[in-house]
A and B are shown apart, each in its own frame.
Chain A
């Protein structure tokens, strides 16, 4: 076993603790169970997106379209339930189908056609957002039927908010997939040495396609939690969420170059991003400054990754 300090996510853990201590001193409102539970609930949607994003980034790709795809899946599900009166469970299925379908589309273009993931998903960023608005006529759809209020506001055993439960189950599952299945192993192998992976007989194309499908399904799950929490849906939800999701993965110690990283890191990263936002709100720092701060944090995290990679290569 790797010692704690050598884990990729160690830095994120330290950052969460240090920021936590700082915020407890700086604000009297930070360290109470309600606020802490709030942070986890707020982190849940980003954490779900970051989970899928981790798979993509570990293979050396990136998915810039997760915010827009979340909007598409969420808006379509809302539209089906509110405007078309379709059964909510069918709408949930439809959301997952949309996530998987767009994932297949992205994965096909990246893995089989050979277009860089950056381009495919940058196009997707506006393509899926546009489709989300267009297909729902730009309406706001509020008052979602069961089980959405439960997904968004329900509490398991009377005290565990459902978004946290979903996030926990999701991360336990993903952690297992990444560490103990062929898919997980090949994700790391492809990110480490794609040609080598091909030489030992791994079907690199199909596994690469697979990670975009995983990311798409995560978007659908995130969309369901998000519209549950907002009790409404529209094409404009999840704006810029791709940035937070990618930032969470990078802050969690996963390398943008692929091959190195962990799913736990992404969870810590999502919590860290949310804590930064929460802390700045408590300290009454303006939205504009918050935007600047998050951007700076992302750049610094990538900076650290690049320096660390150079050091590893020098060995």
Chain B
């Protein structure tokens, strides 16, 4: 895999808090249209990794490339403006506003730009919201209903549709079904599969291996602050992934598992 072909490529990403090595020399890449999962035990460095590639925190060292161009993110907004849309576990939705208001929250369409008194273009936002929801396959019965009356799954779907609608490069989903029931999880997974068909690149953080194997092409395993393995779903098994996560399986014993990780490192 080479740099030009990756939607996002990460080289030597490192974050240390004093003596705590949260993430060390992480190499990562995502091919166009690829869906990748990030797995690992608690404290393995997943959250740190996500915080670094979404601009929440800055790395001590390492580089991030979007479409082959080196970038830095000053803030989550900066990352978003450069094309990385993130759906946080907390969703960042306003329960008391309706669906179009939430989809355009923070980037409203306006008729006249008058600073804080800019006049909102309700019509345009509404019709674009309808379009975004239907391309993402999200069904909302009443667009003018506030989110308070909706289920957790529906809210998650609105948040994903929002990210998908605005994402210029890729979407990152942080534990999208952690708080959902079985049916709701299935619905969210359908939406994610729809994104795969449309070729929207996506990174999902998930503890649910069944889900991971169901949804993604490639699995990246984090362990003790390092990315230790990257395997295609078709060339591994849930047992092997569990082994890699816990350390029971040595990545060097898995054919190809360290290729991408070290291969990228060669470019440095």
Contact = CB atoms under 8 A, between A and B. Distances in A.
Given A181-B117, A201-B107, 6 more contacts: A180-B120, A181-B114, A188-B94, A196-B92, A201-B106, A312-B148
Given A188-B94, A193-B92, A183 B149 contact: no
B106 A181 contact: no
A214 to B, nearest CB: 10
A61 to B, nearest CB: 15
B119 A199 contact: no
Contact of B96 (A195, A199, A260, A315): A260
Nearest to A259: B96
B223 interface: no
A192 B95 contact: yes
B260 interface: no
The residue in B90, B96, B120 that gathers the most chain A C-beta atoms within 10 A of its C-beta is: B96
Given A191-B96, A193-B95, A199-B92, A177 B117 contact: yes
B124 interface: no
A128 interface: no
B172 to A, nearest CB: 13
Contacts of A182: 108, 110, 115-118, 120
Interface in B78-131: 80, 88, 90-97, 101, 105-108, 110, 114-120, 122
B249 interface: no
B94 A180 contact: no
A259 B94 contact: yes
A207 B116 contact: yes
Given A195-B90, A200-B106, A1 B144 contact: yes
B62 interface: no
A185 B97 contact: yes
28 contacts: A2-B144, A177-B117, A180-B120, A181-B119, A181-B120, A182-B110, A182-B117, A182-B118, A183-B116, A185-B105, A188-B94, A189-B97, A192-B97, A193-B92, A193-B95, A195-B90, A196-B105, A197-B94, A197-B106, A199-B90, A201-B76, A201-B107, A202-B106, A210-B116, A259-B94, A259-B95, A312-B148, A315-B148
B186 interface: no
Nearest to A195: B90
Interface of A: 1-2, 177, 180-183, 185-186, 188-189, 191-193, 195-197, 199-202, 206-207, 210, 259-260, 312, 315
A177 B120 CA distance: 10
B77 interface: yes
A199 B76 contact: yes
A295 B208 CA distance: 54
Interface string B59-81: 00000000000000000110010
A312 B117 CA distance: 31
Given A1-B144, A200-B106, A181 B96 contact: no
A181 to B, nearest CB: 5
A188 B116 contact: no
A233 B57 CA distance: 55
Contacts of A186: 116
Nearest to A184: B120
Given A189-B97, A201-B77, A181 B90 contact: no
Contacts of A260: 96
Contacts of B105: 185, 189, 196-197, 200, 202
A57 B92 CA distance: 21
Contacts of A200: 92, 105-107
B120 A193 contact: no
Contacts of A312: 148
Contacts of A191: 96
B174 to A, nearest CB: 12
A185 B148 contact: no
B97 A188 contact: yes
Contacts of B101: 185, 188-189
A154 to B, nearest CB: 29
Closest 10 interchain pairs by CB? A200-B106, A192-B94, A196-B92, A259-B96, A199-B92, A192-B96, A201-B106, A189-B94, A183-B116, A201-B77
A188 B93 CA distance: 11
Contact of B93 (A177, A183, A196): A196
B95 to A, nearest CB: 5
A201 B54 CA distance: 13
Nearest to B112: A181
